[in-house]
Amino acid sequence: MLHYILQTIAFQLFFLLVFDLFLKHETFFNWNRFYLLFTPIASLILPVIKINSFKQLVPQSYVIQLPEVILNPDANTLQTQLLPTVYLKNSTSFWSWETILYLGVVVAAVIFLVKIYRLIKTIVNSYKNEENGLTIVTIKNSTTAFSFFNYVFLGDCIPKHTYATILSHESVHIKQKHSIDLLLFELLRILFWFNPLVYMYQNRMVTLHEYIADALVVKHQDKTTYYQNLLSQVFDVNHISFINPFFKQSLIKKRIIMLTKSKSKQIHLLKYALLVPMVCSMLLYTSCDKEADNSESTEMKTSEEQLQEKIDKLMEENPNVKIEISDVESTSDVDVEVPYSVVEHPPVFSGCEDVPTAEQKNCFSGKISQFVGQNFNTDLATTLGLSGRQRISVLFKIDKSGDIKDVKARAPHPELEAEAIRVINKLPKMQPGKQKGKEVTVPYVLPIVFEVQE
């Protein structure tokens, strides 16, 4: 979930930067409205879309990434998941980040319901009348002016000469269903209460709504008079995020500037075509992305490049030997590494020999997971005073004799690296991988996450 949240925030940040740099000052208000509605939703959907054809455009890594292992030292059972990370938990705690996340959602939902209650209470307790198909709610002793769906809230202290202008303005909000836009962002604010970009999106949408309403109203009345109406009011606006306020001091200057701005040239519509390459790039990223420790595997060269280098080296040392990627030939004294995606017969863990070929991969992964779970010293959490998630990535190879070699680890703490190396070095002898009937070396990467909960 954390990986998904980070991707969502990154995509929204990128979309907002593009809007502020290229689109915000254009007078294509309806296009901007579509952009501000589409991009936050796209940011939520794109991380879960995986397109296989996109993945094939990017060469596969040279090593095979093993499934994750979830270890709970407080329990006697081992949990194994087909995910690219190993989790080691030394204890359980109510105050995990997931709990705080869900608690924040509940609080945000309660705040939203309180706002709705206040709005409904205002409607019920105020004088109401129908005018041009709208429900006018009169608020006593106030200069407030805002709308919510089919309701227009107007203070009884608003000057009579501005009444018609304000009503026309709020009518635009109602006819164009602007309240639906703002309620969408309210929902996002509840689910992603911790994400400041959602609030920024909503603020930009509120401003855009005012631009749209202003632009349509001034078509039927004098602009100068409209400016004076904006500037002469005593600003009194309820601080409710999902209403469309007429008087909002922070927006007055922006609205007047936009009203005096010349219409954008039609050629500038091409800016919105930026959405196509942006979305395609994000789809390419999410289709090829692996949540756990892709950094280690991406540091390596692609399987074709890595294998080709070894083949070139072997050909220099053995000019009479013909070697091809698809037809690896080797002598007993030549050690050739073959990536998991290429090797015809991958290594077999002890005990998986009699398992059907189609199930040997799962058997291998399960045995590795079980071994790590039984041998990793989870007491290191207490000894080292660790907290939170400690990510470890282990690289190792199963050589042509079936032995483990070249074990390397990367972790935030040296003792975690040493423990991971110790455990992997204890793996039993296996049946080596074979290519064209010859034993070969096969590399692997095993990510581990040591989750310490107090």
CA–CA dist 205, 298 (Å, integer)? 39
Task: Report whether pLDDT(292) > 80.
Answer: no
Residue 339 in tokens: 């990536």
pLDDT recorded at residue 70: 53
Is residue 150's pLDDT more than 90?
A: yes
Residue 73 confidence (pLDDT) above 60: no
- One-letter amino acid at 271 equals K
pLDDT at 200: 95
pLDDT value, residue 76:
40
Could you give the CA distance from residue 300 to residue 416 in angstroms, rounded to a whole number? 22
Angle in degrees, 0-180, between the axes of helices 29-45 and 178-191, rounded to the nearest 10:
30
**Confidence tier at 109 by pLDDT (50, 70, 90):** very high
- Res 163 pLDDT > 60: yes
Using pLDDT thresholds of 50, 70 and 90, give the confidence band for residue 295: very low
Between the CA of residue 93 and those of 5, 64, 78, 90, 388, what are the distances in Å? 22, 34, 19, 10, 11
Task: Output the pLDDT for position 302.
Answer: 44
Q: How far apart are CA 446 and CA 143, in angstroms?
A: 65
Choose between 113 and 317: higher pLDDT. Answer: 113
Q: What is the pLDDT of residue 303?
A: 44
Band of pLDDT at residue 92, cut at 50, 70 and 90: very low
- Average pLDDT over the chain reads 79
Length reported for the chain = 454
Range of lowest pLDDT (37-46, 187-196, 224-233, 376-385): 224-233
- pLDDT of the residue at 284: 83
- pLDDT-derived band of residue 87, with 50, 70 and 90 as boundaries? low
pLDDT band per the 50, 70, 90 thresholds, residue 413: confident
Handedness of CA 232, 236, 240, 243 (dihedral sign): negative
Instruction: Report pLDDT for 386.
Output: 77
pLDDT of residue 290: 52
* Positive or negative: CA dihedral 201, 207, 210, 211: negative
pTM for the full predicted model = 0.58
pLDDT of residue 328: 45
Q: Which residue has the higher pLDDT, 320 or 10?
A: 10
pLDDT tens for 18-64 read 999 999 999 999 999 999 999 999 999 999 887 776 665 555 545 56
pLDDT band at 418 (very low <50, low <70, confident <90, very high): very high
Angle at 231 (CA atoms; ends 24, 213), nearest 5 degrees: 45
Each residue of 216-272: pLDDT tens digit? Answer: 988 888 777 776 666 555 444 455 666 666 556 667 778 878 888 888 898 988 999
- pLDDT tens track for 320-359: 444 444 444 444 556 788 887 778 889 999 889 888 888 8
Least confident of 36-50, 219-233, 376-390, 400-414: 219-233
